[in-house]
Structure 1
Amino acid sequence: MSISTEAERAWLIVSDSSSDDEDEPYNIPARETFCQKYTSCRWITAYMCCSARLAQSTLRQCMGMAVIVMMMPLTGPEVTSSHSVTDNSTLPELVLQTPEFKWSSEFEGLILSSFSFGYVASPIIGGYVAGKYGGKVVITVSLIAGSIITLATPVATRALPMSLVILRAASGIFMGTIEPSIQCILSKWAPKLEKASLSSCAYAGGYTLLCVFPWVLLVFDFPRDNPRIKETEVKLITRSHRAAKKDWEMSWTLWWKILTSPAVWAICAACISHTWVTSWVMAYLPQYMKQILKYDVEENGILSSVPYAGRLLVGMVSGNISDRMLSWRLLSTANIRKTFQVVGCFGCAACMLLVGFIDDSNGTLALMLLIAGISLQNCTSVAFKINHLDIAPRFAGVIVGMTISCAMTVSLSAPLITSYVIKEGTRQEWQIIFYIVGAVNVVGAGVFVVFGKGTERDWAKEDT
């Protein structure tokens, strides 16, 4: 079931409603059983987007723990003029702790920021290319390139430490294209009443290279390109779509309207807040757990990953609740998005502020608050993160790319500020950082609540 002409792709442009008051009735999707729904082609597409997102997150956040391990002392024999390392009888007495890598706090901050250096511009390019040619090929190339770069990192770092910064930046360039490409795919696959649940699944997410093969086989840019899709599912997806009169393109006039739209900048502010906090968590959560909570490296590695399981659960539950609220018309789309944004940001801010007052004597409480705060932040996965699909579904990929690029530029400061503040690793120093994290959350929520919208903007409907 393939599309042979551009005219047949006309149904791909999503239109939810035309005014802020959302007077138009919602289309109720056809009845599906539980198994039919969650094994459908649109949900398989969401699962694969989740795997791509998980691969991206893995490559992005692995360095926070890796830096700690790379700078750990190694056990080895001490070589002196009076002892030979070949004398087995003396080896037990000649053990010396020697770290393989010893970096300054500033260079460590540079390493933890380097991924973001590459991430800054590529989302805009990735969003534009995905919007023009489809997100599948963009993500495929990015996954392969990111895998190769990461596999080469250990050898290159031992040869030249600065190569770690360069390769992390290169990895960021390719990984930055994934999120806007996912938005392009979801803009064509997500029915109106499943936007939140499909998106939260896609954003819920080591094995990066293994993702490539199922991705190529199971994901398609357009629903009608999928040979396994049933006509009933095509109708369900396209029920709230309207025909496009022109091919997809971007004019300077349209760019100006996007750049001067308060709704776009509301998303951008929320994205900056979310990305700054996420960048900090990925880079410095393991270090905080080591310095303040006194966890050893094995416990640190396991416990640092627990909040991400919480994010997965919160994201999936939020998506389901959001879609139900929309189908029951309890609130408008805009108010639903703003509600989840406030819950996510204020919940995260409150937990982080409390953590700043806790030392290792109450480590379990601090850990629980960290898990709760980082998990609650993922309520925003059904707020600003999918708001592009509400206000401008035709150009969701480009807008996502633009907002991510802005956010990554600002978030470059997160590791640098932290490395500047954290000199001795005291609780008072970390408390300052938690104050900053809380303030960033609150500002992001406030701007989104004031300027955010829930319906398609007039400029997004125009034939541009």
Structure 2
Amino acid sequence: MEEGTTSALVRNGQGEVDIRTGRRQESIHVPLLGSCRFALAVLGFFGLLNMYAMLVNINVAIVCMVNRTSIYTIDNSTVISNKASNCFRQKDHNFSDESSIRGGELNWDPEIQGYVLGGFYWGYLITQMPAGWIATRYGGKMVTGLSMFVSLIFTLLTPFAARTSFIFAVIVRIVIGLSTGAVFPAMHSLLGNWVPPSERSKFTAMTYSGTQLGIVVTFALGSLMCAHGFAGGWPSIFYVCGITSFIWLILWMWFVSDTPAEHKRISREEKEYIMGLLADSTHDTKKKELQVPWLEIAKSMPNYAIVVSNITCDWGLYTLLTYIPTYMNDVLKLDITTNGLFSSLPYIVFWATVFCGGWLADFFRSRKLMSTTNTRKVFDTVAKLGPASMLIGLGYVDCSQTALAIVLVILAVSSAGFQYSGWVVNHIDIAPSYAGILLGISNSLASTTGIISPIIVGAITEKSQTRAEWQIVFYIAAGMYIFGAIFYIIFASGELQPWAKESCSNPSEEESTDNFLDNEDGL
């Protein structure tokens, strides 16, 4: 098919169907491995790995940035209360020994730490919706590249800012949030243009599992750099994140294109394969005026199901993501190196869950074991009720049960990985052309939890960091998960919404293509 012409053939892995006659013909198989869309998934994976490294580096670094000796000795009554209600490591019998409490160079109390940790999300929520529109209109490649460039510059600036004042540190984190807030909507926009329906779950899982590996690498290596890194220890965490992100940026700008039609190295077979399967659900928003069906989006209950699911999942994950190192430090009394290793374990299993869940979801759909709608609901429910139950149990564990606490944290975090085959990919199901905009809307609203959660957790645990205080934190997160699961079960859908179809498609062609895709995907 020459560029600029319209083919009457819609392809899949086994053959192609003429949408005018419904007759299947033989075609060249276009496997995922080795393809240009696979290259996009790999680069997207490493891009999100670097993005999340820049997001969470402060969470592990703050454990060795803050002078906890100073904080503990501010109020002697707090010290006594803390000692009475929590068990200390064996070397902590002599409480007056400063080495018994980890000390850094910054005198930030829990309230200040909450503002620094939450600063990222103040910026993150602002750029989500405009980034979704810009990426849809002008392409996700440049939006992602520019966002990552700004993020890495300010990541490199973080140590200087933190040593200058906590206000400067908060401002830097806000700017990093502003820039990285555009990455997810832009990435979703790219996936909407590149991913055939039969590959959506596994493709999205492959790409977005980079976020979890970013957490694993940052927590594990960050703890080592805290103790043994260059430039004073903890600053090296930010420098390494900035440098690796710059290397990735060069590769991204060289190899990625917004659509298959624009890619310079894609094969003709793969281009026709992708564009044929997406013919009725995507359209070139660069070459015509972008008319977003805002009113229909605002009235869409499947969209609200995604929004509520995003908000409730993010509350639980941000609570865990932000405070796992602090929880293991203050409640389980783990030293910084052990803390980093155990904090990263849940996200290793999370990464495996995301990856395997994507392939499993597409297996169920392709074999017609479950419809797309039911697949999304089942995986989303597991991703919420699993963490909720584990968090409730975690609230009753103390430092004498460290192994049990770590197992519960691993199960809480890893079971949430099934959300990537639930609500996360659901934007692309219901509206591929507007997936970036829809994710921008839901993620913008959900990002408020990244602001509110650290402040609330800081306020709850400010006095003594006891197990009873952490029980309240975990109960709140579990309640959010349960509410989100119920709402999603009632209102979610995996069907392409009428307002998201290509308006210029011929109705008969649209119907033929839908029937073919239904047979292919088990919808």
TM-score by length of 2: 0.77
The 1:38/1:426 distance shift into structure 2, 3 A limit, reads same
Aligned residue runs from structure 1 range 29-428, under 5 A: 37-72=32-67, 99-205=104-210, 206=241, 207-242=244-279, 244=283, 247=287, 249-251=289-291, 254-422=293-461, 423-428=463-468
**Aligned letter for 1:291?**
D
Gaps of 5+ in 1: 15-24, 76-94
CA distance in 1, matches of 2:138, 2:188: 13
CA distance in 2, matches of 1:428, 1:276: 20
CA distance in 2, matches of 1:67, 1:245: 45
**Aligned letter for 2:43?**
M
- Secondary structure in 2 matching 1:37: coil
CA distance in 2, matches of 1:138, 1:113: 24
**Aligned letter for 1:437?**
A
Q: How far 1:351 moved relative to its partner?
A: 1.2
Is 1:448 the counterpart of 2:488? The answer is yes
The 1:245/1:293 distance shift into structure 2, 3 A limit, reads closer
The 1:108/1:37 distance shift into structure 2, 3 A limit, reads same
Deviations 1:359-379 (A, max 9, x none): 111111110111111011010
Q: How far 1:228 moved relative to its partner?
A: 2.4
Which has the larger displacement, 243-252 or 428-437? 243-252
The 1:300/1:179 distance shift into structure 2, 3 A limit, reads same
Q: How far 1:387 moved relative to its partner?
A: 0.5
- Secondary structure in 2 matching 1:120: helix
CA distance in 2, matches of 1:8, 1:210: 38
Deviations 1:400-434 (A, max 9, x none): 00111111124421111101111211011101111
Contact 1:132/1:248 (8 A) holds in 2: no
Q: How far 1:340 moved relative to its partner?
A: 0.3
Contact 1:149/1:170 (8 A) holds in 2: yes
Q: How far 1:2 moved relative to its partner?
A: 10
CA distance in 2, matches of 1:295, 1:379: 29
The 1:159/1:387 distance shift into structure 2, 3 A limit, reads same
**Aligned letter for 1:364?**
A
Q: How far 1:134 moved relative to its partner?
A: 0.6
Deviations 1:223-274 (A, max 9, x none): 132232222222332332225498554547x212111211111000000012
CA distance in 1, matches of 2:195, 2:451: 32
Deviations 1:275-297 (A, max 9, x none): 11222122111010111111101
The 1:148/1:395 distance shift into structure 2, 3 A limit, reads same
Aligned length: 427
The 1:236/1:105 distance shift into structure 2, 3 A limit, reads same
Is 1:436 the counterpart of 2:476? The answer is yes
Q: How far 1:61 moved relative to its partner?
A: 1.2
The 1:458/1:221 distance shift into structure 2, 3 A limit, reads same
User: Which residue in the other structure is 2:219 paired with?
Assistant: none
The 1:368/1:259 distance shift into structure 2, 3 A limit, reads same
Which has the larger displacement, 171-180 or 156-165? 156-165
CA RMSD of aligned residues (A): 2.7
- Secondary structure in 1 matching 2:447: helix
The 1:291/1:248 distance shift into structure 2, 3 A limit, reads farther
Contact 1:2/1:225 (8 A) holds in 2: no
CA distance in 1, matches of 2:25, 2:203: 17
Contact 1:337/1:382 (8 A) holds in 2: yes
CA distance in 2, matches of 1:192, 1:455: 11
- Secondary structure in 2 matching 1:453: coil
CA distance in 1, matches of 2:275, 2:359: 21
User: Which residue in the other structure is 1:458 paired with?
Assistant: 498
The 1:330/1:101 distance shift into structure 2, 3 A limit, reads same
Contact 1:191/1:239 (8 A) holds in 2: no
Q: How far 1:219 moved relative to its partner?
A: 1.3
Q: How far 1:143 moved relative to its partner?
A: 1.1
Q: How far 1:31 moved relative to its partner?
A: 7.5
Q: How far 1:161 moved relative to its partner?
A: 2.3
Q: How far 1:28 moved relative to its partner?
A: 11
Q: How far 1:96 moved relative to its partner?
A: 7.5
The 1:62/1:283 distance shift into structure 2, 3 A limit, reads same
Deviations 1:315-353 (A, max 9, x none): 110000011111111111110000100111111111111
The 1:10/1:356 distance shift into structure 2, 3 A limit, reads farther
Deviations 1:156-190 (A, max 9, x none): 22122210000000000000000011111111111
CA distance in 2, matches of 1:433, 1:156: 30
CA distance in 2, matches of 1:56, 1:28: 43
User: Share of identical aligned residues, percent?
Assistant: 29
- Secondary structure in 1 matching 2:209: coil
Q: How far 1:137 moved relative to its partner?
A: 0.5
